Structure 1
Amino acid sequence: MENQSPDWSSLSLDLLNRVSKKLDHSFDYLHFRSVCSNWHSAAPPLKFPPLLFLPFDPTTETIPFFDPSDGGVHSFPLPAEARNKTFCGTSHGWLILLDEPTNCISLLNPLTSTSVPLPPFTHHLPKPSTKRVILRIDRCLANPRCIRPGVPWQNRPFIQEAVLSSPPATSGDPCIVMAILQNGEELAFCRPGDGAWTLVETNGVYNIDSVAYWNGSFYAVDRIGRIAVCELNATPAGVARVSLVPEPLVPDQFKLLESKGELLLVGIDTEDDDNPDYEMKTFVYKADMGEGRLTWTKVDTMGEKTLFLSEDSNSGFVGHELRGCRRNCMYISKSSDHEEAVHFIRLRNIGDSSSSELISCRWSSNPSGAVFWLKPGFF
């Protein structure tokens, strides 16, 4: 009698469900649900936290990441389309990549290897601007940590960060990609299929710290707390200042985070945060567009939610009842400035300034590598 391969799709749903509950990592869960429709239906979607992708060599075949749900470092196959590319940001589970030799930009889903081309950056991009922006391709691989305040803008990557309005779709309205340019004084946007990027006049909103898409518009905050909405349909495209941060203390960094219809503004004071005894100062505000006017309400607790932020990039996420993560907390990623030091995460309770601790990622803080949070987009 000939040996026959087992029919894995015929396993009972109850057995498959029990097996799926033993899977602790998001990628394992993804692979389990991808076997067939029977396995997919037996494993309901779970709420896994985003993964912190750690510094790596872009010529290698794998990328390391830290999983906050188990505190371990794992690896994931790096798609061929992402090798030898500069990482310019992550949004909605997609990577924004720059190919230096051709100056071409693309979106890449690292799980499916689906790639979406975007218009290339050219030397003509800065010309319509009222601000002086110099494009130098040989700086695109500059230390991503140079985005921090106080570092000369000449050493920063030309594309400081990029954010999507929504995941790229095969039909319907295309997503919009908004990029913070080299010195943080400029914004540019495009849609897949456009022939070129469009520069956004910043009208005095300088040194932009963070951008987020909320309520049908992109919002930007600069390093002194000025908040503006991007008017992309205007001619020329520009920004209009709508409010100021309602906090007398201006922190080192601002972060804008959108989550399920809410816009959060987070302030982080990073001074001396290599010291585990340092009491990091943070605050969180929630936006409200009542009667057509943007106002902010201070948030003292996030309940069952968890915030994931990085000092090294603008990537950030808000999760609710995430598997293996503390609630009402911030996970703040940071590369140490000390030689041969390891990357770490500061875990801080929201609303409790006395509670803060460091979690080692057990991975070198390679100054030449990108560090960013990625929420896999597969559920």
Structure 2
Amino acid sequence: MAVTRSHFSLLPPTLPCPWLVFNHGEHGNYSTQTFFNTSQDTYVMGRIPELCDKMIITCSHGWLILLDLVSNDCFLLNPVSMEKIMLPPLQYFPFFCCILSSPPTDPNCALIFGCREKSSATFCRLGDGEWTEQHLGSAEYFICATVSGGNIYGLTIDRTLLMVDVVGSNLVVTQLGSEKAPRTSIPGTSSFGYLVDQK
């Protein structure tokens, strides 16, 4: 694979999407970003201040979800327009998955974290002043989630498929079907389930 590197820039690179973004630096300080263009086998290095010393939690609907582990600031960042949407401070906790329910232009947009240590989810709508934690029940222990066709789907640790709706200040969870997803594994490896959005 032929990979070329452009000069180091202080400005966000103007690459056609999609990008692979790597946040890196010395001694655990995320001070530099590398943007890899999957269609052109090229990459550029740059420094975007909004990404420095932040954990990139996930990317959804073209927005990065970022968390500052020192200040607990949590926000959305559009890496193309550089628009920033602040969320309530969020103290880091172990989570399996994070999902943005819809683009931030949707008034019902919510950010949802599935906890890794207990059957609960922490979420907020854009514009809320605080996060809400909701117990989901023993069978509703999310390991992954995705958005497809405007709906949120989650897979639990016992391989039950669920649909999640944000209704007012609550999450409404509906089990889909009575069958659990089959457990498959290769000897000597761990088995996890994944949800894939098919356009």
- TM-score of the superposition, structure 2-length normalised? 0.72
Aligned match of 1:256 = 195
1:217 aligns with 2:187: no
Choose which of 34, 51, 54 in structure 1 pairs with 2:22: 54
SS of the aligned residue for 2:184 comes to coil
Aligned match of 1:247 = 182
Q: Following the alignment from structure 1 to structure 2, what is the Cα–Cα distance between the partners of residues 184 and 65?
A: 35
TM-aligned CA distance change 1:75 to 1:253, over 3 Å: farther
SS of the aligned residue for 2:193 comes to strand
Aligned match of 1:333 = none
Aligned match of 1:176 = 110
Q: Following the alignment from structure 1 to structure 2, what is the Cα–Cα distance between the partners of residues 113 and 228?
A: 34
Q: Which runs of 5+ in 1 are unaligned?
A: 1-26, 31-47, 123-139, 141-156, 261-379
Aligned match of 2:50 = 81
One-letter amino acid matched to 1:187: A
**1:162 CA drift (Å):** 1.9
Q: Deviations over 1:341-368 (max 9, x none)?
A: xxxxxxxxxxxxxxxxxxxxxxxxxxxx
Aligned match of 2:78 = 109
**1:238 CA drift (Å):** 4.4
Q: Following the alignment from structure 1 to structure 2, what is the Cα–Cα distance between the partners of residues 86 and 54?
A: 11
Q: Deviations over 1:22-75 (max 9, x none)?
A: xxxxx6565xxxxxxxxxxxxxxxxx5x33323512542x312443324x4513
SS of the aligned residue for 1:81 comes to helix
Q: Name the structure where strand makes up a greater proportion of residues.
A: 2
After superposing on structure 2, the runs of 4+ consecutive aligned residues of structure 1 that deviate more than 4 Å are 27-30
**1:211 CA drift (Å):** 0.9
TM-aligned CA distance change 1:194 to 1:233, over 3 Å: same
The percentage of aligned residue pairs carrying the same residue is 25
SS of the aligned residue for 2:194 comes to strand
One-letter amino acid matched to 2:63: W
Aligned match of 2:138 = 204
TM-aligned CA distance change 1:164 to 1:87, over 3 Å: same
Choose which of 61, 65, 75 in structure 2 pairs with 1:92: 61
TM-aligned CA distance change 1:74 to 1:65, over 3 Å: same
Q: Deviations over 1:155-207 (max 9, x none)?
A: xx5344321122222xx524221222343733222111011122232212355
Q: Deviations over 1:295-333 (max 9, x none)?
A: xxxxxxxxxxxxxxxxxxxxxxxxxxxxxxxxxxxxxxx
One-letter amino acid matched to 1:195: G
Q: Following the alignment from structure 2 to structure 1, what is the Cα–Cα distance between the partners of residues 141 and 42?
A: 34
Q: Following the alignment from structure 1 to structure 2, what is the Cα–Cα distance between the partners of residues 76 and 110?
A: 14
1:120 aligns with 2:89: yes
Which residues of 2 match residues 185-196 of structure 1 at below 5 A?
185-196=119-130
Higher relative contact order (CA 8 A, sep 6+): 1
Q: Report if the CA contact (8 A) 1:200-1:232 is conserved.
A: no
TM-aligned CA distance change 1:249 to 1:59, over 3 Å: closer
Q: Which runs of 5+ in 2 are unaligned?
A: 1-12
Q: Report if the CA contact (8 A) 2:116-2:142 is conserved.
A: no
Q: Following the alignment from structure 2 to structure 1, what is the Cα–Cα distance between the partners of residues 141 and 117?
A: 7
Alignment coverage as a number of residue pairs: 179
TM-aligned CA distance change 1:234 to 1:81, over 3 Å: closer
Q: Deviations over 1:254-310 (max 9, x none)?
A: 2223344xxxxxxxxxxxxxxxxxxxxxxxxxxxxxxxxxxxxxxxxxxxxxxxxxx
**1:236 CA drift (Å):** 5.2
**1:106 CA drift (Å):** 0.4
Which residues of 2 match residues 282-301 of structure 1 at below 5 A?
none
RMSD, matched Cα: 2.9
**1:97 CA drift (Å):** 0.9
Q: Report if the CA contact (8 A) 2:96-2:142 is conserved.
A: no
One-letter amino acid matched to 2:191: D
**1:103 CA drift (Å):** 1.6
Q: Report if the CA contact (8 A) 2:23-2:30 is conserved.
A: no
- TM-score of the superposition, structure 1-length normalised? 0.41
Q: Following the alignment from structure 2 to structure 1, what is the Cα–Cα distance between the partners of residues 84 and 138?
A: 35
Please say which structure displays the higher CA radius of gyration: 1
